[in-house]
Structure 1
Amino acid sequence: MSLKHPKIIVAALDTSQRAAGVLEEAVDLAQKLGGKVLLVRAVGIPHEIPPEALSATPNAVPEILGRIAREDLEQRARAVPEGLLHGIQVRTGVGWQVICDEADAADADLIVIGSHGYQGIDRLLGTTASRVVNHATRSVLVVREKPVKSA
């Protein structure tokens, strides 16, 4: 595993506005360092929502959410320059675990993930990002959201 010449860079994406910056950073690194980008998205089913409240066929919910996530990643993949896309991976599960597992499965050299704002370490990184940093067997680059400039 070499950060000087990474073969695979995982771009851990979600539905937030930060996702565009994460993808941009991953693509920029891939272009500069000669790597390829693997777009990864975890789809989670909220535990607090009872399945019967979601639909008459609760087993269809993960499939529907997965399809929507895949369509989103396919759209984002169009922004990746030709030859730099390693693939797209959507999996149902806990975000940080999916990201770490997919990075391991792809033998990725680097995970690029967005930060978020909560409290303590989670305020600096976000719960998913902090868990990826703590549990990943790969190097992790955390992309901070650019501050909004006031007029």
Structure 2
Amino acid sequence: MYNTVLIAIDTTPEAKQVLDAALNNEAAKNASFQVLHATELPGPGMSAYTGYDFNFDFEQIHTAAREKIAELIKGTAIKESDVQVKTGMAADLIVDMAKDIKADLIVVGSHGRHGIRLLLGSTANSVLHHAPCDVLAVRIKD
């Protein structure tokens, strides 16, 4: 039985498949759920290294992501207060949050298309190899 489940999702309609897989998992029926959305954007200091001027309004990006996720979790047992939106490398953020909340299951979607990515996307693959707990990779049906 799982007690704490971390659900890592994006903001696409397909993310509902990942949510459903987590929420309908019999081994997690009494678990608490935390949701993480990671925006993988260059950080403010990247312009010094790349020569490009990255001016992103992270607050606006996070607000838009929260609004989309609120729609996805509507009607589920997940509360908006259980959702975190962070900027950084998705796999690192997922693994770090799993450690922080002492998750015993991470649920992540997989879109893989070529080579090893045919089985697992790069984020899902990295999470699988670095997670401190079980990982459920949900194959996204396009």
Partner in structure 2 of residue 22 of structure 1: 18
Shift of 1:90: 0.9
Q: In the TM superposition, what is the alpha-carbon distance from 1:22 to its structure 2 partner?
A: 0.2
- What is the match of residue 138 of structure 2? 143
SS at match of 2:33: strand
Tell me, yes or no, if structure 1 residue 100 matches structure 2 residue 95. Answer: yes
Q: 1:51 aligns with which of 42, 50, 53?
A: 53
Cross-structure match for 1:55? none
User: 2-side partners of 1:104 and 1:24: how far apart?
Assistant: 23
1:69 aligns with 2:71: no
Give a deviation string over 1:31-56, Cα, whole Å, max 9, x none.
Answer: 8631122111001115789335xxxx
Structure 1 equivalent of residue 83 of structure 2? 88
Structure 1 spans left out of the alignment, 5+ residues: 53-57
Q: Is the CA contact (8 Å cut-off) linking 2:108 and 2:137 kept in structure 1?
A: yes
Letter in 2 for 1:51: D
Are positions 1:130 and 2:132 aligned together? no
How far did 1:101 drift?
A: 1.1
Partner AA of 2:62 in structure 1: G
Output the TM-score relative to the length of structure 1.
Answer: 0.77
Deviation at 1:145, TM superposition (A): 2.4
Cα shift at 1:30: 6.6
Which of structure 1's runs of 4+ aligned residues deviate more than 6 A? none
1:17 to 1:75, Cα distance in 2 relative to 1, 3 A: closer
CA RMSD, Structure 1 to Structure 2 (Å)? 2.4
